[in-house]
């Protein structure tokens, strides 16, 4: 593997928590008394993954590909957005080596969902599940995350360009 063809991208997203569930993370519905608010379906984790892939492939960011001022992006499914971004990276000759993701949330506790979320992301991208790692961290009752005002996610994507 030629290291000059390795590309790293980082994705980040934050969404407000609002009353009423369910919560959707990584394409998985989690029973909870709050959900994430946003123009699309507000899946904070999938938005971070999408941004990481777009960044690694040099394709801008999720807001450029799916502007929030276009009506077709209202309530748009984040799995669809991820798949479209991943296909665009593939058109430029990129293959995914791995994803490493973190969800920052005080509640609900996500440890029992991490594997299911990773498998959901892998399935959406038609990848082996061991290429996707999902971690969960709390805000230790500090800041906006600790006060349960929002959730945040970060992802690093490692891509390999097979051709120019």
Per residue of the chain (164 residues), give pLDDT as tens. Answer: 888 999 999 999 999 999 998 899 999 999 999 999 987 789 999 999 999 999 999 999 988 988 777 777 676 789 999 999 999 999 999 999 999 999 999 999 999 999 999 999 999 999 999 999 999 999 999 999 999 999 999 999 999 999 75
Treating both helix axes as pointing N-terminal to C-terminal, what angle do 78-91 and 44-56 enclose, rounded to 10 degrees? 10
Tokens in use for 13? 């997203």
pLDDT reported for residue 164 = 58
Domain count, the chain: 1
Host domain of residue 36: 3-161
* Long-range contacts of residues 128-133, Cβ cutoff 8 Å, at least 24 apart: 131/96, 131/97, 131/98, 131/99, 132/98, 132/99, 132/101, 133/98, 133/99, 133/100, 133/101
Treating both helix axes as pointing N-terminal to C-terminal, what angle do 114-125 and 78-91 enclose, rounded to 10 degrees? 50
pLDDT reported for residue 108 = 96
pLDDT reported for residue 119 = 98
Closest CA to 121 of 67, 78, 60, 75: 78
Which CATH number characterizes residue 24's domain? 3.30.1330.50
Q: What is this structure's pTM?
A: 0.95
Taking CA atoms, 90 is separated from 36, 51, 68, 93, 159, in Å, by 29, 15, 24, 5, 10
Tokens in use for 4? 């000059």
Write the CB contacts of 88 (distance below 8 Å, at least 6 apart in sequence). Answer: 54, 57, 59, 65
């Amino acid at each position: 593997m030629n290291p000059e063809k390795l590309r790293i991208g980082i994705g980040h997203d934050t969404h407000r928590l609002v009353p009423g569930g369910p919560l959707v993370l990584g394409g998985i519905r989690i029973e909870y008394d709050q959900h994430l608010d946003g123009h699309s379906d507000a899946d904070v984790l999938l938005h971070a993954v999408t941004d990481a892939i777009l960044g690694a492939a040099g394709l801008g960011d999720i807001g450029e590909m799916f502007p929030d001022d276009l009506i077709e992006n209202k309530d748009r499914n984040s799995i669809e957005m991820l798949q479209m971004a991943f296909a665009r990276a593939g058109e430029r000759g990129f293959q995914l080596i791995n994803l490493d993701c973190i969800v920052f949330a005080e509640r609900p506790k996500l440890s029992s969902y991490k594997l299911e979320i990773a498998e959901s992301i892998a399935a959406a991208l038609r990848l082996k599940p061991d290429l996707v790692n999902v971690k969960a961290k709390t805000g230790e009752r500090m800041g906006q995350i600790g006060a349960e005002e929002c959730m945040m996610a970060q992802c690093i994507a490692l891509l390999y360009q097979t051709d120019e």
